[in-house]
Amino acid sequence: MTEHPVLPADESVLSTVDADELYKDSGKIRNKYYERELERLQEELVRLQMWVKEQGLRVVVCFDGRDAAGKGGTIHRITRRTSSRVVKVVALGTPTEREQSQWYFQRYVEHLPAAGEMVLFDRSWYNRAGVERVMGFCTDEEYDEFIRSVPEFERMLMRSGIILIKYWFSISDDEQESRFQKRSNDPKRRWKLSELDLEARKRWVEYSRAKDEMFKHTDTEDSPWYVIDADIKKHARLNCISHLLSQIEYEDIMPEPTELPPRQEDPSYDRPPIDGQNWVPALYGSNPTGVDRF
């Protein structure tokens, strides 16, 4: 792990647990250590969030990659303990007819962070180099213009003071097929499997070539792609979060625990009875009794 002035590597399970104990025979991290490390990293994300807000930083993180590579799951773990007022997630759908008539980057620019905000793009402007190109949703001329424009667009963002970090989630074809099959078999996740996903599966090699071409033009020295091995979800989440924390220098400004002020007391206040209120049926547990409710 990259050394960081705040994130103490010696508290990581990598430093405190032997590898034989840390990993299963399959090579996957044991769940109890995964949860312990995730909690540690999420606490650091809260510290980073506080620093971003206090310093008025503007941060953009792009999450791109294959379908079912785990981008959304990683974003969910990043935002689980943070404030949605500071760390915002942007997942844009199909562009409207009006958006299609605009400058391509315009609908993304509308979501760029103000001071004290971090924006996570769940698929970014690189849709044009991937799904739009492979599926024929853009013309060759539109693609060529994008490839020419995007390096300068990103340099413009960084010159304006935005911290830009780009992640590509890489997944093997066998692992993607396994995840697609699990989505198909699980009613709770079946909504995640779209016709577009299935069509993209048929065009695996076309997507690979499109990604290679995209990297050729956009994996630049000042705005590099960071590739996440996403075949093991838990590893991908921990690796991505720890790397993200290493990319932004922050200080620990976490306040000390707050001493709560005394609650107001007023003997003259009579609480109304609660039995006349419309309580949600207590299918689990039981509804409250007494009058000590607001």
What local confidence, expressed as pLDDT, does residue 276 receive? 78
What local confidence, expressed as pLDDT, does residue 45 receive? 98
Q: How far is CA 109 from CA 25, 71, 157, 196, 228, in A?
A: 46, 21, 10, 26, 25
For the chain, percent of residues with pLDDT exceeding 70: 95
**pTM of the predicted structure, to 2 decimals:** 0.90
**How far, in Å, CA of 174 to CA of 189, rounded?**
19
pLDDT in tens, the chain (294 residues): 345 555 655 678 888 889 999 999 999 999 999 999 999 999 999 999 999 999 999 999 999 999 999 999 999 999 999 999 999 999 999 999 999 999 999 999 999 999 999 999 999 999 999 999 999 999 999 999 999 999 999 999 999 999 999 999 999 999 999 999 999 999 999 998 888 888 888 999 999 999 999 999 999 999 999 999 999 999 999 999 999 999 999 999 999 999 999 999 999 998 888 887 888 888 998 877 765 666
Q: How far is CA 182 from CA 106, 179, 191, 201, 204, in A?
A: 36, 5, 12, 15, 19
Q: Indicate the domain borders of the chain.
A: 9-247
- CATH class of domain segment(s) 9-247: alpha beta
Q: Residue 136 is encoded by which pair of tokens?
A: 């024929």
Tokens 């304006």 found at: 160
Residues 123-141: tens digit of each pLDDT: 999 999 999 999 999 999 9
Tokens 């074809």 found at: 173
What local confidence, expressed as pLDDT, does residue 271 receive? 82
